[in-house]
Amino acid sequence: LVIPDFAALRTEIFAIYEGLRGVDEGQVADYIPQLGRVDPEKFGIALCTTDGQRFALGDAESVFCVQSICKPINYCLALEQHGAEQVHRHVGREPSGRGFNELTLNNEGLPHNPMINSGAIMCCSLLRPSCEMADRFDHVAETWRRLAGGGAVGFNNAVYLSERRTADRNFALGYFMREHRAFPDGTDLTETLEFYFQCCSIEVDARSLSVVAASLANGGVNPLTRERIFSADTVRKCLSLMSSCGMYDYSGEFAFAIGLPAKSGVSGGLMIVVPGVLGICVWSPRLDALGNSVRGVAFCKELVNRFNFHVYDTL
Ligand code: GLN
């Protein structure tokens, strides 16, 4: 067993959960009404080890949209389809040091990395571009289902419609990249953006997202179904970029203090990977000024205080 004393882990996680329930700092994202209406008190935690032990607390079965947490999955899919060399002709792999939706490209006129909006839009353009939109979305949704191993994976059409209507910045990023000829030849920009909004509108619950995280922690093999979804090499590259770029403008501090690959989204979801050990999802909608879940970040701090999960803890 990767966690020999699972009962002790549960007790500690429960203590962290109890300690954070009263935290009410931060604001729910309100750029679309569907996010603004979410109950800010929602708080779910779920965990799945790489040998399939599971545990969930609080609102772990309430669904929320993945938003930016679609970015690492789409990056993995792009790598699987094209290989790293081809993918990185269109997107960089350095932290941008700028906001997640800032109108900026790197010195080569490419998005800085796949974990910010411009890079995520670019990854969408790379996913089966010659197929019908419906098939492209099915491909992504089916991958989420396989990663979640039978857990909840859905689609929120209201979120999608709102995202599409409130998308000036993402359209601006798209046109900016097109001006710089960053996209593959033949890219349909409108379809690419709509595909990105659809991916952001995929719905999960904390339980299913913890299994997705555990599949990454397990090198691309779902620990419940034993199915290989991504190669170990793809996952390694994805986790590296999650470590350096996964937490918006807090990524550097997060890598320093927490030392784990993670990805957050504006819905308040947070996916944390302890490589080789377990995957965790924390969902709590109130966000800090940088756009990360307040309780999610606080949970991570508590986690590495209590367990030696920081990548350099064993030195
Ligand atoms: N749909 C959001 C956007 O593109 C997702 C971004 C996020 O979660 N930070 O603006």
CA of 3 to the centre of ligand 1 (A): 34
CA of 69 to the centre of ligand 1 (A): 9
CA of 265 to the centre of ligand 1 (A): 7
Q: Tell me which amino acid residue 133 is.
A: M
Contact 50, 275 (CB under 8 A): no
Query: For each of the chain's 315 residues, which pLDDT tens digit applies?
Result: 899 999 999 999 999 999 999 999 999 999 999 999 999 999 999 999 999 999 999 999 999 999 999 999 999 999 999 999 999 999 999 999 888 999 999 999 999 999 999 999 999 999 999 999 999 999 999 999 999 999 999 999 999 999 999 999 999 999 999 999 999 999 999 999 999 999 999 999 999 999 999 999 999 999 999 999 999 999 999 999 999 999 999 999 999 999 999 999 999 999 999 999 999 999 999 999 999 999 999 999 999 999 999 988 888
Number of Cα atoms under 13 Å in the Cβ half of residue 278: 24
CA of 95 to the centre of ligand 1 (A): 17
* ipTM score for this prediction: 0.93
Instruction: Determine the angle formed by the axes of helices 232-245 and 70-82, rounding to 10 degrees.
Output: 140
Report the C-alpha dihedral over residues 119, 49, 21, 263, rounded to 10 degrees.
-10
Contact 222, 293 (CB under 8 A): no
Looking at the structure, give the CATH architecture of the domain made up of residues 6-306: 3-Layer(aba) Sandwich (3.40)
Q: Which residues line ligand 1 (CB under 6 A)?
A: 67-68, 100-101, 117, 163, 170, 200, 265-266, 291
Contact 224, 48 (CB under 8 A): yes
Sheet of 44-49, strand order: 54-58, 44-49, 278-283, 269-274, 262-264
Residue nearest ligand 1's atom 2 by CA? 67
